[in-house]
Homo-oligomer: A and B are copies of this chain.
Amino acid sequence: MQRRRPTIIDVAEKAGVSKSTAGRALSGASNVTDEARERVLEAAKAVGYERNDLAVGMRSGRTGLLGLVIPDITNPFWAEVARGAQDRAAENGASLLVFSSDWNHDREASHLRALRQARVDGAIINPVADNFDDLDRFGLPFVLIGSSAERFPSTSSVGSDIAQAVRLGMDHLVSKGHHAPALILGPKSRIARARFLRTFHEHCVERDVDPAALPMEDGEYTVEGGRTAMKRLLKRDRVGHFAVFAANDLMALGAMVAVREAGLRCPEDVSILGFDGVPAGAFSWPGLTTVAKPGREMGVRSLDCLLDEIAGRSEHGRVFLPCRLIERGSLADLSLNQPKRAVGDGR
């Protein structure tokens, strides 16, 4: 059973050279005769040699191991990120250690410790903390990912371009005749919220709309949070067709439920625009029109950044990737039947 696994010395013996030569041949160094190289490669194949990354790591300080610490691999967005990072890692001969922090400080700290002990070359992290303490202590190359990166301007990071995304969503709303949408936002504590609001305000001002006059509700970034926020919005006085821009797809889907529960229809009575691009949005009825974050691309880019960081060329700085609009059917097109302001119930 479980025989001792062949080492470079076994290969060298079989090929009739020293282990130095065998090592050079296997690592593709130049100063080896073609003939010797061939003999070594042949011998390696014959004995089934596979390099021991542990030993390489000991000697060279490079393990080919990278860490990824995200809130929850079960969240579709983060799964996309993980997938992108993992694919890119594989292309570069690296392997990814994946951890879920559940937005929990202690878990995060323990994961970071595990990464250090495993001697990873670096890590991609969506940090839980608002402050820099834990990350400062990390002591290895790392790249931040996600909106929280905004809090650490001096660190290399990859995020989605929230400003561009909000602008994209607003332009789409306007093009469909929704000039004064209501907003469903996340908790005040989240950093992305501020950027979202800032761009929203800019956009309103450019179009001579008073943002303060528009209805706005907060909620948790969940279906239930969106549902209760929408319920509150529907209780307010309103006239005619109603458009809502939700800061998160799950909230948008929750809002859709609330609309249905109120005996209204989407998109005939209420238009809903989401933000994230979760797969579930494709299966709701109507399909959720949304601004999709490039999750996979973010994973890919963050891994590229990390490799640069490890290699010492950290010119990257902060990367913000553009989002794109996915049109499905949760927005009524008021521009067709009404050149004027949005009035009437859309039929």
State the A residues within 8 Å of B (CB).
2, 5, 50-55, 57-58, 63-65, 72-74, 76, 79-80, 82-83, 86-87, 90, 95-100, 107, 110-111, 113-119, 139, 223, 253, 256-257, 260, 263, 279-285, 347
Contact in complex: B118, A283 (CB < 8 Å): no
Identify A285's interface contact among B50, B100, B281, B285, CB under 8 A.
B285
| Cβ-defined contact, A55 with B58, below 8 A | yes
Query: CA separation between A256 and B73, bound complex, in Å?
Result: 28
Q: Which residues of chain B have C-beta atoms less than 8 A from A58's C-beta?
A: 54-55, 58
Known: A79-B79, A283-B223. A110 touches B98 (CB 8 A): no
Asked if A72 and B83 sit within 8 Å, CB to CB, the answer is yes
Known A65-B118, A117-B52: A100·B83 in contact at CB below 8 Å? yes
User: Quick one: copies of this chain in the complex?
Assistant: 2
Residues of B within 8 A of A253 (CB): 283
A100 to B82, CA, bound (A): 10
On whether the beta carbons of B117 and A51 are closer than 8 Å, the reply is yes
19 contacts between A and B (CB under 8 A): A2-B139, A52-B117, A54-B57, A54-B63, A65-B97, A65-B118, A73-B73, A73-B82, A73-B83, A73-B86, A76-B79, A76-B279, A86-B98, A95-B115, A96-B97, A98-B98, A260-B285, A280-B280, A284-B284
